[in-house]
């Protein structure tokens, strides 16, 4: 049974609002408690999430996980919890390889807000990217503009950061929840 297009759009929008909320939560934890605490907490969240997803893969019922899966996982995900696992791994990459709190915060703005807004806008876009038929010019523009919120943390460096991350997010062969953090890490390590 297929999902009606309007319901599919509503679910994707809800998923992206959750995506943005997770980014804001990670940013708040970083700013309130610091890098070390946030890294430790995320480590335990990844371990707990892996344990729960393993139970699901073994066929056990985990009601909270099943509800989250239904609400926020894409139907074509390779594994239950794939998107969440990649997102958590991406945030862990930022916390591990970047040491400056402002660079981490800027990257969280790009990952959390830029990516979420690009999907919401891009799903309604009409001009398809020539190298990735699943993404639109409107979504890429929205990603870039939303990512400029990183200016608050890194000033003018937000402009090239947003450009680099926009390209990484639009590539067809990469999971964007990993590609964006990798692009941010490389950007700040090279800068």
pLDDT tens-digit profile of 80-134?
Answer: 778 888 999 999 999 999 999 999 999 999 999 999 999 999 999 999 999 999 9
Q: Is the pLDDT of residue 76 over 70?
A: yes
- pLDDT score of 3: 54
Number of domains in the chain: 1
Binned at pLDDT 50, 70 and 90, residue 79 comes out as: confident
The domain of 157 spans 5-190
Residues near 74 by Cβ (< 8 Å), separated by ≥ 6?
12, 15, 83
Binned at pLDDT 50, 70 and 90, residue 5 comes out as: low
Burial environment of residue 79 by CB neighbours within 10 A (0 to 12, 13 to 18, 19 or more) = exposed
Binned at pLDDT 50, 70 and 90, residue 14 comes out as: confident
Tokens 């929205």 sit on residue:
142
């Amino acid at each position: 049974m297929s999902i009606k297009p309007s319901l599919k759009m509503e679910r994707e929008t809800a998923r992206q609002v959750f995506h943005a909320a997770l980014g804001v939560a990670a940013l708040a934890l970083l700013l309130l408690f610091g890098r070390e605490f946030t890294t430790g907490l995320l480590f335990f969240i990844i371990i707990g999430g892996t344990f729960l997803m393993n139970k699901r893969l073994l066929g056990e019922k985990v009601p909270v996980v099943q509800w989250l899966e239904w609400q926020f996982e894409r139907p074509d995900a390779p594994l239950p919890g794939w998107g969440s696992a990649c997102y958590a791994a991406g945030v862990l990459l930022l916390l591990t390889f970047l040491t400056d709190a402002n660079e981490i915060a800027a990257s969280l703005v790009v990952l959390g807000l830029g990516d979420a807004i690009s999907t919401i806008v891009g799903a309604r876009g009409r001009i398809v990217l020539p190298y990735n038929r699943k993404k639109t010019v409107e979504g890429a523009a929205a990603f870039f503009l939303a990512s400029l919120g990183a200016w608050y943390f890194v000033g003018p460096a937000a402009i090239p950061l947003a450009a680099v991350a926009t390209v990484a997010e639009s590539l067809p062969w990469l999971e964007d929840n990993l590609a964006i953090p990798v692009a941010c890490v490389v950007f700040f390590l090279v800068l």
